Amino acid sequence: GTQVFAAAHLELALQELRMLTATLTAALGFSPGVTRLPNGFAGTALSQHALTPVASRSAASSGLESVLAPLLEQQQQQQQQQRRALRAPSAAMVATGGMGGGLFTQSNPEDRRVVPDEPGDRQIFKVVYVVLESQYQSSLSTACKRINAGQEKVAVECSGYILEELRDPANFEQFKKDVADANIFIGSLIFVQELADKVVEAVEPYRETMDAVCVFPSMPAVMRLNKIGSFTMASMGQSKNVMLDFMKKNKPSGTSFQDGMLKLVRTLPKVLKFLPGDKAKDARSFMMSLQYWLGGSPENIEALLLNLASTYVFESDLLTGEVVEPPTVIPDQGIWHPVAPRVFETNEEYIQWLRNEHAPTIGVDPNKAPVIGVVLQKSHINTKDDAHYVALIMEIEANGGLVLPIYTGSLDFSKPIEDYFFLNGRSVVDTTINLTGFALVGGPATQDHPKAIATLKKLNRPYLCAVPATFQTFEEWKDSELGLHPVQVALQVALPELDGAIEPIIFAGRDGVTGRSIPQSDRIETLAKRAIKWSNLSAKKNADKKVAITVFSFPPDKGNVGTAAYLNVFGSIFEALKTMKAEGYDLGAELPTDVEGLVDAVLHDKEASMASPTLNVAYSMSVAEYKELTPYAEDLEENWGPPPGQLNTDGQNLLVYGVRFGNVFIGVQPSFGYEGDPMRLLYAKSASPHHGFAAYYTYIEKVLEADAVLHFGTHGSLEFMPGKQVGMSGGCYPDRLIQSTPNLYYYAANNPSEATIAKRRSYANTISYLTPPAENAGLYKGLKEVGELISSYQGLRESRGASIVNSIVATARTCNLDKDVDLPSEDFDTAELTLDERDIIVGKVYSKIMEIESRLLPCGLHTVGVPPTAEEAIATLVNIASIDRPEDEIDGLPRILARSVGRDIEDIYRSANAGNLDDNLLSENIKEAIRAAVRASVERSTDAAGRVTEVNPMMASLGAVLGGGSPMLSALKKQGFDKVQDPDLEKLFGYLEFCLKQVVADNEMGALIEGLNGEYTLPGPGGDPIRNPLVLPTGKNMHALDPQAIPTIAACDCAKVMVDRLLERQVAEEGEYPESIAFVLWGTDNIKTYGESLAQVLWMVGVRPLPDSLGRVNQIEAIPLEELGRPRVDVVVTCSGVFRDLFINQMNLLDRAVKLVAELDEPLDQNFVRKHALEQAEEFGVSVRDAATRVFSNAAGSYSANVGLAIENGGWEGEQQLQEQFTSRKGFAFNADRPGILDDKADMFKSSLKKVDVTFQNLDSSEISLTDVSHYFDSDPTKVVGSLRTDGKKPSSFVADTTTANGQVRTLSETVRLDARTKLLNPKFYEGMLKSGYEGTREITKRLRNTMGWSATAGAVDNFVYEDANDVFIADEEMQKRLLETNPNAFRDMVTTFLEANGRGYWETSEENLDRLRQLYAEVDDKIEGL
Residue 231 forms beta bridges with which residues? 228
- The DSSP symbol for 1045 reads G
Spatial distance between the Cα atoms of 383 and 297, rounded to a whole number of angstroms: 4
For every residue of 642-703, which 3-state class applies, written as one string?
Answer: CCCCCCCECCCEEEEEEEEECCEEEEECCCCCCCCCHHHHHCCCCCCCCHHHHHHHHHHHHH
Position 41 scores a pLDDT of 23
SS3 content of the chain, % helix, strand, coil (to 5): 50, 15, 35
Confidence of residue 31 (pLDDT cuts 50, 70, 90): very low
Task: Kindly report which listed range (39-53, 475-489, 955-969, 1230-1244) carries the lowest average pLDDT score.
Answer: 39-53
Contacts of 1338 (CB under 8 A, 6+ apart): 559, 560, 563, 1383, 1386
Residue 1356 to residues 871, 1220, 1361: CA-CA distances in angstroms? 35, 20, 11
pLDDT in tens, 696-735: 999 999 999 999 999 998 878 898 888 888 899 999 999 9
Per-residue model confidence (pLDDT) at position 10: 42
Predicted local confidence at residue 1181, as pLDDT: 94
| First-last CA distance in the chain | 81
The answer, yes or no, to whether residue 281 has pLDDT greater than 90, is: no
pLDDT at 736 over 50: yes
Q: Is the pTM of this model over 0.95?
A: no
**What phi, psi does 1166 have (nearest 5°)?**
-115, -5
Distance of alpha carbon 1090 from alpha carbon 133, whole angstroms: 30
Residues 6 or more apart in contact with residue 192 via CB below 8 angstroms: 132, 163, 164, 487
pLDDT per residue as tens digits for the range 605-639: 444 444 444 678 899 999 999 999 999 999 999 88
The better pLDDT of the pair 854, 1219 is held by 1219
Q: Are 396 and 403 in contact (CB under 8 A)?
A: yes
Taken in order 727, 731, 737, 741, the sign of the CA dihedral is: positive
Return the bridge partners of 711, or none. Answer: 550, 745
Instruction: Return the number of other C-beta atoms located less than 10 Å from residue 375's C-beta.
Output: 25
Least confident window among 78-92, 352-366, 483-497, 705-719:
78-92
- Across all residues in the chain, what is the average pLDDT? 82
Edge-first strand order for the sheet with 1130-1135 is 1239-1240, 1228-1229, 1191-1193, 1130-1135, 1076-1081, 1254-1259, 1292-1297, 1304-1307
- Residue 1065 phi, psi dihedral angles, 5° rounding: -65, -40
Q: How far apart are CA 1129 and CA 1127, in angstroms?
A: 6
**According to the model, what pLDDT value does residue 607 have?**
47
pLDDT of residue 47: 26
Q: pLDDT, tens digit, for every residue of 903-960?
A: 998 899 888 888 888 888 898 899 899 999 999 888 888 887 787 777 877 665 444 4
Per mean pLDDT, which range of 33-37, 310-314, 624-628 is the poorest? Answer: 33-37
> Which tens digit of pLDDT belongs to each residue from 1034-1091?
999 998 877 777 888 888 888 998 999 999 999 999 999 999 999 999 888 888 888 8
Cα–Cα nearest to 515, from 982, 1042, 161: 161
pLDDT the model gives residue 827: 83
The rounded Cα 1050 to chain-centroid distance in angstroms is 21
With a cut of 60, say whether residue 76 has pLDDT above it. no
Compute the chain's Rg from CA coordinates: 34
Q: 159 pairs with which residues across the strands? A: 128
Helix or strand holding residue 161 (H, E): strand 154-162
Instruction: Report how far residue 317's alpha carbon sits from residue 75's, in angstroms, rounded to the nearest whole number.
Output: 31
Question: What is the pLDDT confidence band of residue 327, given thresholds at 50, 70 and 90?
Answer: low
Inform me whether the pLDDT recorded for 878 exceeds 60: yes
Q: What is the pLDDT of residue 167?
A: 87
Say which range, 56-65, 248-257, 452-461, has the weakest mean pLDDT. 56-65
Amino acid at 238: Q
The pLDDT value recorded for residue 686 is 67
Q: What is the pLDDT of residue 38?
A: 25
Confidence category of residue 1397, pLDDT binned at 50, 70, 90: very high
Task: Tell whether the model's pLDDT for residue 812 goes beyond 80.
Answer: yes
Question: Is pLDDT above 80 for 3?
Answer: no
The total of other beta-carbon atoms located within 10 Å of residue 1293's CB is: 27
> Residue 1200 in contact with residue 1154, Cβ under 8 Å?
no
pLDDT tens figures, 38-58: 222 222 222 222 222 222 222
Torsions phi, psi for 1047 (to 5 deg): -80, 145
Cα 372 to Cα 35, 148, 461, 505, 531, distances in angstroms = 20, 43, 10, 16, 7
Which residue, among 901, 944, 963, has the nearest Cα to 926 in the 3D structure?
Answer: 901
The DSSP string of 1273-1284 is HHT--HHHHHHH
Nearest residue to 1220 (alpha-carbon basis) of 1109, 1353, 1106 = 1353
Torsion sign over Cα 449, 450, 452, 457: positive
Alpha helix positions (H), 119-238: 135-150, 169-180, 193-203, 220-223, 233-236
Question: Which residues are CB-neighbours of 1287 under 8 A, at least 6 positions away?
Answer: none
Let me know: does 506 contact 727? Beta carbons within 8 Å.
yes
Share of the chain above pLDDT 70, in %: 85
Give tens-digit pLDDT for 1264-1289: 888 888 888 888 999 889 999 988 88
DSSP string, 97-115: ---GGG-S----GGGG-B-
pLDDT at 1393: 94
Q: What is the pLDDT of residues 1305-1314, one digit of tens each?
A: 899 999 999 9
Highest-confidence range of 33-47, 457-471, 993-1007, 1204-1218, by mean pLDDT? 457-471
Contact 1179, 1222 (CB under 8 A): no
At residue 86, the 3 state secondary structure works out as coil
**H/E stretch holding 6:** helix 2-28
**What percent of the chain lies above the pLDDT cut of 90?**
40
Q: How far apart are CA 1427 and CA 1423, in angstroms?
A: 6
Beta-bridged to residue 1021, according to DSSP, are 1039
What amino acid is encoded at 197 in this protein? D
User: What single DSSP character describes residue 313?
Assistant: I
pLDDT of residue 825: 86
